[in-house]
Each structure stands twice: as C-alpha cells, then as structure tokens.
A and B are shown apart, each in its own frame.
Chain A
Amino acid sequence: MTNIEHDEAAIVIIGSGAGGGTLAYELTAKGLPVVVLEAGPYLRNEDYVNDEWEAFNQMAWLDPRTTSGSWRIARDFPNLPTWIVKAVGGTTTHWSGATPRFKAHEFAARSTYGRIDGANLLDWPITLAELAPYYDKAEVAMGSTHVHGRKPLPANNNYKVFANGAKRLGYKFYSTGPYATNAEEYDGRPASVQDGFNFQGDKNKSKWSTLVREIPRAEATGLLDLRPESHAVQITHDASGRADAVLYLDKDGNLQRQAAGLVAVAANSIETPRLLLQSASPMFPEGLANSSGQVGRNYMRHTTGSVYARFNDPVRMHRGETMAGVIADESKHDPDRGFAGGYYLETISLGPAFLASFGDPGAWGRGFTEILEAYANTAGLWVVGEDLPQESNRVTLNTTVSDKNGLPVPNVNFDDHVNDIAMRDHGYAQAELLYETVGSVGAQRTPPYPSTHNMGTSRMSARPEDGVVDSWGRAHDVPNLFTSDGSVFTTSAAANPTLTIVALAIRQAEYIADQLKTGGI
C-alpha cells in the first residue's frame, strides 16, 4: 500500500462501498493514485459473525440520526432510519446480491409517467443505451448469475415456495437471479455454501463486495492509500471555488487535512448530503454544490414491504441464499394498477431475532407470537419498487443533536407519496395471492425496514437548477467535486440500486481519467 503525503493534492474518495470502492479500483487500475477515507474499521470476512444482532452491532452505522415525517420508521425506529454499514466495503458487506438492471423508460420517469402531484420527477440526463456497456462491465465484475454465462444458483426452500406460487399465479419472469453470488467458483472466489447469512457478511467470500474484489485489487496496484476509521467532516475550497482539501477525524479523534486535487463523495445517501451541507462556506452558504437547493432533497428509499406466509409444512427459509429469487412480472409500468412505476418481488428471510424486531414493530400478544411460533413453516418475500422523489423528503442537519464528535447529526424527513402507498398495497396483495396458490394458512404484512436502499440526495440533472451533479456525477457548481454513490440517482427505478451504482462508478472513472489527461478538470 502506498503512502500519499497529506499536502499532496490527491484524488480523495470518501467511502469504500459500492460506489467508492469501485471508483478506487477503477482509477488505480488506470494508474492514478488515490486516497480513500473510510469512516469504518477494516474488518475481514473471517471477522464476520453468524448472528443477526451481533453482526449488526459489529458493522452497522450506529452514529445517532434523527427522523421526522409520517413514515412508520419515525415511530418505530426513530434513531435508525437506515441500515447502512460503516466498515471497509461499505454496505456491500451486508447486502444480499440482487442485481436487476433499470429499464429504458425508468431513466425517463418524468416523460413516461407525466406530471404527478407532489412528486419532483425528472428524467435522468443519461439513457439506458449509454449505460448498457457499463452494466455489462458491472455484471462481469460482480459475477451476476444468469448473465454473461454465469450459472444460476440452485433453488432453496424459500425459493421453491416463491417460484411455485409465481407459476400458479401466472407469472413468467421468475428465476433465482440475477444475483451477485457465485453458484460455482468464479473470479478466484468459491461457490456459495448456502449458509443463509447474507445480511451479516459472507464469511465464504462467494458474495461480491468491494471488500473481496475492488479493495484488494486496488491495493495490489500499489496506488491505494486506504485510511480506515477516518471520518470526513468537511470539504474545503479555494478562492476560485474548487475543492482543495478534505478535513477528517482519524481514529484517535484528531482532525487531519488531506490536500485534494479532486474529491469524490461516496458516503451513501445520508452522509453524502450531510458532508456537503457541513461544507457550507461564505461562497457556498447553502452547502457545497448546492446552488440548486437540491442537496439532501428527493431522498428515496424504494417502496418496500414484506409478506411472511405460514404453511402447514416446513419451509426453513433461513437455509440458503437470502435473496436468490426474483420475480419481474410486476416491474412494468402499468398505470392500470393504480400507480406509476413498477416493483419486483424477491425472496427474503430473517432469523427469529430480526423477525421479532421488524416483523410487526410495536405488536405483542398472541397475534405477535403466532408469527414466531410458525417460524419453521414460514416463507418470506420482499416487495421492492420505485418510489417517487419529493422535495420535502429530505436530509438536513439537525443542529440540536450532535454525535460523539460534536458534529450535527443528519435528520431524515420522509412521507410516503400516495403512489408509494398504492404500490405497496398492490405488492402485499399479490404476494398474499401468490402464497395462497401454494396453500398458505396465514400471512403477515411487514412494513418497510430501516432503509437499506438510499438514493437521490445529490441527484443528476441536465440543468444545474434541477439537481446537484451532471450526467458524470460531477457537481454542477464545483468542477473538481464528484458524487459517486446512490445519491446521484435522479429517480429510483424499481430495481435494487447497487448494480447501477457500480455501473455508474465504472463509467465515472473513465470520465475522470480522461478529463485528467486532457486537462478538463
């Protein structure tokens, strides 16, 4: 590993997850040295534990946050709006692996859906055709099953219930993927042993994460200066308005300054806007790169919900790959269903500890214990669909509450749009029908978990007044500042976000390398 001097104007990437880890690898592979500041520790696969709460407490981002708005999260988990990981590899360590692509029209949500009251819809400044070659690269990098010759994962018990139900309901487009976990050895990593611990970090390294692929490869180039336990607190700028350094707290709580020639923020959609807002200055009074006023706004979490159905016979959903089951039939845009946009159905499973906490938050009594009593005979699925950007769904700085470093914590305000509610209800109903066709004797509708998909708070736009960054993720206002994570999403689409984050980061790396060569930055 290389050592970059603190006063050398370096390429500084903040965050080592899907976006930041990918960008770091792609740039070092092109011969460019980079500093990666990562707030979390450098844990390895061996450190992970097969235990829901222990793993969560080991790696989740637990720094205080606050919530407001009418979403149920603000009542049930007021200080845990999201499930995001704070460790090298970011949330790709806890993710499960579903990797569908966005559809062409989802890059043109405003044009396709038309004007929708209360929404802040906008078309992306890029198209599917432009992103398609990068989707290919991302799928190859991540080893997505079902594409580029990668074998599908076998059916686990939860999938058998799910797929049989799908078939009987008349769905066609179901399969065990695409899913970025090896069904057979690939890319130097072994096949899945189906241990059922995806959300806790995969000890077997079969699941793609930037921890198992991009970070070690970037290290191998000798051009990566990875600094774990380094929490960025401000991006500073010079008199011309160019970013010139990142201030961060090292593991001992000392403030450090890393000079920067280029800064890429990939801290996930809560911390990215928080950092930009914390970087306000007389020249950028509303926050860095925020002349549009859109930093922190249009926060999206996907329209989600789960259904846990009970059967007379054993299912044992906890055995095997958690989310290796995807139904795409409802991912279309069909306003006849009563809402714009589409959704996927994906298998999901929780252990008793998490099912108790998240299955029906606030509940107790016999209705509650029935859910757990039926554990062994339960099958689960997750509804995940497009939610609409709204200006008031927003990350702001809460200056009345501070974290252990004395920094203002982010507040996440969220209200469901009526479109989100209609879509969720449709998803619940379809899921219940699906399970009824295979003999369910009862079902639990579970509300959204603390958000695992976080998007939109630094969105791409063609025009500077509509968003924060351009089609390359480059800030409209600050020429050497980039955003490289899910916060750049103009709209959420129905698909799980990570494949798109990785594809965009690969594309961004090409652009950055090219611009640095030609003097464009």
Chain B
Amino acid sequence: MAFPAKYPQMNATELTDEARSVLIRVIRVAFPHPSFPDGPYERTADTILREAENSTWFRVALTQGLLTLSNLAGGDFRDLNDEDGTKVLRRIETTEFFGFIRRTTVLNLYDNEDVWEILGYEGPSFDKGGYINRGFNDLDWLPEARIESYDGPEQLVEIATPVSVARVRGGENASAVARDTSNQPGKRDAIMSEMTK
C-alpha cells in the first residue's frame, strides 16, 4: 500500500525520465541478451516503475538507488561498458534496490511473446492443434528411441544388497512392535516413548 509522503517535498522522489533510462541500462547489464532489442527492456522498466508507484518502500528504495548509482559508477552509470557495469551491480546485489529490480525483471522480462520468439519458445499451442502434427518429435540428430518398457533378460534388482529383514516383510505380517517402534526407532523406545508423550 502507498501512503502519501508526510512532507510535500518528499513526493519529489518521483522518477524522472533520466532515472528511467538508467533503470533500462541496469536491467540490460544485469540480464544481458545481445539478441534482445530495447523493447523488452523498456517494457520491463515500465513494469518496475508501475510497481514502485504502489509501494512506498520500493519507491523510496528505487529512487534512492537510481540517484546514487552514479556515485559508485564514478559518473553516469549509462556510460559504463557491460563489464564495468556488472562490477558495480555485483557490489550492490544484496541491496533491496537491486533485489526489487532483479525479482521484478525475472518475473516479467521472460513472460512476453516479444522475447519468446527470439528464444525459440512458441507460446500457446492448443489453439493450433498442439504439436502432434507440428514437430513434437522432429529432433533428427539422434536415433529413434525405444518407448516401450524394457523386455530384455534383466530384471530391475530392487534391493542391491541383500537385506534380510525386508525379505521377511515381503508380504507377510510380522508384528509391528517386534519389527519397529516409533519416533526413535530401536527396541528400547517402546518404553522411552511413554515418558516423552
């Protein structure tokens, strides 16, 4: 829930266009996909800004973070190359500021058709009849594989090392008390449990 700031000047923590463009750069450095155009990163930044509007805590953390990032960057964060930008972000990765950006990006950047196509994911398929006639089995760089259960000479050995007790238990009913006891298994426990319960 968002509360109006107590002091009117605090509402000036509104995020500027410049802050938005720093945010876009932060997301691209943190989640580098050379094949992605700007669109998905801008969309994600706008989602983050929208969510920040609804939470005082995120809004102040985000505003403060974007304003002060230049201190760590020794200038404008947007001027850093990928490698230097990554180094700056590693230094702040445990902050609430970065955590908020990371979580929201992970949830939103990849949840859109604009990146699915680039990554090779095809989205909803039922309306297209599924993949039964559209390549569910078109992989051709490996031989065909057996789909039936194994029916060769070997049996799955369920217990590798002979364990005599289990054979006793194979189906017949040994007395549960003789075989086993409660929370701390072992014979003595039948008496101990009376005191602990």
Q: Are A108 and B169 in contact (CB under 8 A)?
A: yes
Q: How far is the CA of A50 from the CA of B127 in the complex (A)?
A: 9
Within B149-176, the residues touching A (CB, 8 Å) are 149-150, 152, 154, 156-161, 163, 165-166, 168-171, 173-174, 176
Query: Within 8 Å CB of A52, what residues of B?
Result: 111
Q: Residue B142 contacts which of A197, A376, A438 (CB distance < 8 angstroms)?
A: A438
Q: Are B183 and A364 in contact (CB under 8 A)?
A: no
Number of A-B contacts (CB under 8 A): 249
Q: Residue B182 contacts which of A105, A193, A372, A465 (CB distance < 8 angstroms)?
A: A465
Q: Are B33 and A154 in contact (CB under 8 A)?
A: no
Tell which of A122-130, A134-142, A243-251 binds the partner. A122-130
Q: Does B122 contact A (CB under 8 A)?
A: yes
**Nearest Cβ in chain B — how far from A73, in angstroms?**
15
Q: Are B156 and A336 in contact (CB under 8 A)?
A: no
Q: Does B179 contact A (CB under 8 A)?
A: yes
Q: Does A417 contact B (CB under 8 A)?
A: no
Q: Residue B180 contacts which of A123, A203, A335, A366 (CB distance < 8 angstroms)?
A: A123
Q: How far is the CA of A170 from the CA of B193 in the complex (A)?
A: 47
Q: Does B32 contact A (CB under 8 A)?
A: yes
Query: Within 8 Å CB of B35, what residues of A?
Result: 373
Q: Are B156 and A195 in contact (CB under 8 A)?
A: no
Within A411-470, the residues touching B (CB, 8 Å) are 438, 461-463, 465-466
Q: Are A173 and B32 in contact (CB under 8 A)?
A: no
Q: Are B33 and A108 in contact (CB under 8 A)?
A: no
Q: Are B156 and A328 in contact (CB under 8 A)?
A: yes
Q: Does B186 contact A (CB under 8 A)?
A: yes
Q: How far is the CA of A373 from the CA of B181 in the complex (A)?
A: 53
Q: Are B165 and A111 in contact (CB under 8 A)?
A: yes
Q: Residue A125 contacts which of B129, B157, B163, B176 (CB distance < 8 angstroms)?
A: B176
**Nearest Cβ in chain A — how far from B143, in angstroms?**
6
Tell which of A27-35, A158-166, A223-231, A299-307 binds the partner. A158-166
Q: Residue A351 contacts which of B121, B134, B150, B158 (CB distance < 8 angstroms)?
A: B121
Q: Are B132 and A194 in contact (CB under 8 A)?
A: yes
**Nearest Cβ in chain B — how far from A170, in angstroms?**
11
Tell which of A83-91, A309-317, A473-481 binds the partner. A309-317
Q: Are A194 and B131 in contact (CB under 8 A)?
A: yes
Q: Residue B166 contacts which of A108, A172, A336, A369 (CB distance < 8 angstroms)?
A: A108
Q: Are A160 and B139 in contact (CB under 8 A)?
A: yes
Query: Within 8 Å CB of A315, what residues of B?
Result: 139
Q: Does A357 contact B (CB under 8 A)?
A: yes
Q: Are A112 and B163 in contact (CB under 8 A)?
A: yes
- Residue-wise, chain B 30-62 has the 8 Å CB interface mask toward A (1 for contact) of 111101000000000000000000000000000
Within A313-342, the residues touching B (CB, 8 Å) are 313-316, 318-320, 328-329, 331-336
> Interface majority SS on B: helix, strand, loop or mixed?
loop
Q: Does B7 contact A (CB under 8 A)?
A: no
**Nearest Cβ in chain A — how far from B116, in angstroms?**
6
- Residue-wise, chain B 20-31 has the 8 Å CB interface mask toward A (1 for contact) of 000000000011
Q: Say yes or no: A364-B179 contact (C-beta < 8 A), given A104-B171, A204-B130.
A: no
Chain A: interface residue count, which band? 35 or more
Query: Within 8 Å CB of A155, what residues of B?
Result: 137, 144-145, 147
Q: Does A401 contact B (CB under 8 A)?
A: no
Q: Are B147 and A336 in contact (CB under 8 A)?
A: no
Q: Say yes or no: A372-B131 contact (C-beta < 8 A), given A122-B182, A334-B161.
A: no
Q: How far is the CA of A127 from the CA of B170 in the complex (A)?
A: 8
Query: Within 8 Å CB of B186, what residues of A?
Result: 115
Q: Are B156 and A332 in contact (CB under 8 A)?
A: yes
**Nearest Cβ in chain A — how far from B95, in angstroms?**
13
Q: Residue B156 contacts which of A162, A313, A329, A372 (CB distance < 8 angstroms)?
A: A329
In the A-B complex, the 4 residue pairs with the closest CB atoms = A376-B120, A193-B130, A334-B160, A195-B130
Which residues of B pack against A, CB within 8 Å? 30-33, 35, 86, 89-90, 93, 102, 105-107, 109-111, 115-116, 119-127, 129-132, 134-139, 141-150, 152, 154, 156-161, 163, 165-166, 168-171, 173-174, 176-177, 179-183, 185-186, 193, 197
In addition to A105-B159, A161-B139, A353-B111, 6 A-B residue pairs with Cβ atoms within 8 Å of each other are: A111-B169, A111-B179, A160-B142, A320-B136, A335-B161, A466-B183
Which residues of A pack against B, CB within 8 Å? 49-53, 103-105, 107-108, 110-112, 114-115, 120-123, 125, 127-129, 146, 152-157, 159-164, 167, 172-176, 192-197, 203-204, 292-293, 313-316, 318-320, 328-329, 331-336, 351-353, 355-357, 362, 364-366, 368-369, 372-373, 375-376, 391, 438, 461-463, 465-466
| 28 A-B contacts (beta carbon < 8 Å) | A50-B123, A105-B159, A105-B163, A111-B166, A111-B168, A111-B179, A120-B183, A122-B180, A122-B182, A146-B149, A152-B148, A156-B136, A156-B137, A157-B137, A160-B139, A194-B136, A203-B126, A314-B139, A332-B158, A333-B159, A335-B161, A336-B161, A352-B119, A356-B107, A369-B33, A438-B142, A463-B177, A466-B183
